[in-house]
Structure formats: structure tokens, C-alpha cells
Amino acid sequence: MALLAWLVMFLYTLLVPYKVLQIWARSLETLQLPTAVTVIAAAVLLIGHATVLGFYPVYTVISQPFGPASCFVIILEQLRFLMKIHSFLREIAPPILRARSNDGKMGLPPFSTYLYFLFCPTLIYRENYPRTPHVRWRYVIENFAKFLGCLFYGSLLFKCLSIPIFSNMNKQPLTLRRLVLSVFNATLPALYLVLLMFFCFFHCWLNAFAEMLRFADRGFYKDWWNATSFPTFFRTWNVVVHDWLYYYIYQDLLWVFKAKAQSVALLSTFIISGVVHEYAFTLCFGFFYPFTLPFSIVVVLEGMFYSTFTHGNKRPNSNILFWTYLLLGLALQFCLQSLEWYSQIHCPVQKVSILTQGVGQISCPSLLKAYITAQTFPALYV
């Protein structure tokens, strides 16, 4: 079912947007009602997006007994297709409108260009990309082998460092002392898993596909480990998504709010990114535990504070402070998410509302309820 869901989303992304754009461009040349044609094309795309790339993957994730890994694949592919379609339409539609107003030729790029864009490791559409002269198949095989090794090592980390600690948390009362100890116990596995995820996806997976497609622009990440603040970290950790957010969210918000409201545009961009992260975590883990969205707001405020009071000067200990805060943040998120995961298993929600009945296993955090219960009725844990 996971493969079927991906195939449906891919076929829609491959065929529908390009064909609708093609029909729309031809209609602008022949018909005298450009506004009506544009509205109809936009309505078709919105209905298709809402159905195939909106409702269908969410329904598949909720209705099928998938694990978190399969859910992440479906949801992340849903987001990737949406971002690629948005980039393609944003880069192609304005030149067509300008060509019509100037009585020029409104031509679409070849379909092979769009097909290449769907597979190449970038979210910014261009008709031409820098290409390498040949494919190094040995390099491709090595990266895929490293990718598989990272998956095996990640599962081993979960079995050895995560599951034994958090699966037995229900046997004793959840006190503040145990919670603090759990956060410190989660520091090492959280760091290992994040570094493993970074190397597995941003280095091995993206470089393997870039090499197979002879995609020469390999700037998937920068030296984020030398960052002195969280805004710098988010600009260098995931350059692929950062560029998309910068060009299509931040720049558009600057145009809406005017150039004077840069702080508003920056905060809005981080909030949108945080909401999307919470959406992915909620659907994949099956419960709503807001952590990324408040953290995104704190990051923006920290960046404003840093630039205001330090005037952009890098202090010698800034990188040490950054790594300290990063480790604590990763450990806190990993610990709270793990505790909530097993709280949903050991303390399932009894009352089912219309909302929870409609979305299956998605529920609000039960960690706080477990802590209150442990303090009020400690005999239940004996």
C-alpha cells in the first residue's frame, strides 16, 4: 500500500500539472477570456492537489497499519511533490503571461526537462542544470551501500539505546527526577541518530541520485557544525529546503509585507516550516506533541537577539554554546517523543471524540496525564 500511494502521487505529479499548464498556455493563445481560463486551470489544480496530494496520502497513513518509517516516506514524498510542483508552476507561469502580454511565443519546456526535475535532488526548477560528463557507478553503489548500512545501524541504536530505557518507564512513577535522567540518557542516542540521519540522507542518498542523474550542483549542506547560532544552523543544515523556503516563502512574504517588514517575513517563514514539521510528526507518530513549532519561534527570537546585541560578531565560545543548546534540544525532543510514544501504548486514550474517531490513533499528549496520575495515585504503579 505504501508503494501504491507513492505511485499514485508520482503519476499525478508527473502528468497532471504539466498537461494543465500546457492546455492553459494554448488556451491563452486562442481564447479571448484569459481570466476565465486561468481561474479554471487553477481550480483544476487545486482540486487535484487537495484530492491526490492532500486527502489521499493522509487517509492512507491513517487507515493503514503502517509503522513510523513507512508513514514518513509517504508524508515526506507528499511534501516533496507539492514543493516541486509549486516551484515548476512559479517558474513557468510568469514567463508565459509576459509572453502573452508582449505578443511573444508562449512555449513550454520539454517534458523531459520536467521529468528530470522530478528526480534530481533539488526543489528549485530550472530548465538547465550543471551536469557532470559521466556517471561514476562505483560511487553510486558505495553511497547506496552506506545508506543501507546507516539504516541497519539506526535500527541497532534504537534497540540498544532507546527501547530498553523508554519501554519500561510505566513500571515506576514518572517523577521530575526520572524525567531529567531520561533526558540525559537520551542525549547520546539522539545525537547519534541525528548525525546518522544527516549522513544517510543528505550525503549518501542525495549524492547517489545526483551522480546517477549527472547533477553537478552538490551543495546539499554546508558546514553547519561550525555554526554559532541556530539561524545559521538552519541555513546550512538543509540547503535544499532552505533555498525553497527562501525563494518561494520568504521572498513572497517580503513582497507582501514590503521590504521594511523583514522580521515579520522571517518569523512567518519559520512558523510555516514549524507547522509543516508538526504536521509530518503528528501523522507519522500518531499523536500531536508540539515541539518544533515553539522551537522555531524561539530560534527566530534568538537570532534577533544575537544580531541585535552582538552586532553579528562571532564570539570564541559561540560554537560551544550552540552545540550545548543543540544537544539539550535534541535530547529533550527525543525523550519527550519517546515517552509520549510509550504513553500512548501503556495509557491509551479511553474517550473517543468525533475528531479522534475520524483520524484514527491521533491524540493529544498523555505524558502530562501520566505525570499527574503518578503524583496523585502512586499505588497504580506498584
Residues designated catalytic: 277
Alpha carbons 290 and 281: distance in angstroms, whole number:
9
Q: Measured in whole angstroms, how far is the alpha carbon of residue 134 from the centre of its chain?
A: 31
* Closest C-alpha among 296, 317, 318 to residue 307: 318
Q: Measured in whole angstroms, how far is the alpha carbon of residue 225 from the centre of its chain?
A: 20
Alpha carbons 68 and 21: distance in angstroms, whole number:
35
Alpha carbons 174 and 375: distance in angstroms, whole number:
8
Q: Which residues are registered as beta bridge partners of 363?
A: 287
SS3 of 215, please? strand
Alpha carbons 348 and 366: distance in angstroms, whole number:
8
Long-range pairs, 19-24, Cβ under 8 A, ≥24: 20/44, 20/45, 21/89, 21/92, 21/93, 21/96, 21/108, 22/108, 24/96
Alpha carbons 254 and 216: distance in angstroms, whole number:
31
Contacts of 270 (CB under 8 A, 6+ apart): 296, 297, 299, 300
At 336, the amino acid letter reads L
Contacts of 5 (CB under 8 A, 6+ apart): 56, 57, 60, 74
Distances in whole angstroms, Cα of residue 16 to Cα of each of 21, 87, 155? 8, 15, 38
Alpha carbons 210 and 217: distance in angstroms, whole number:
8
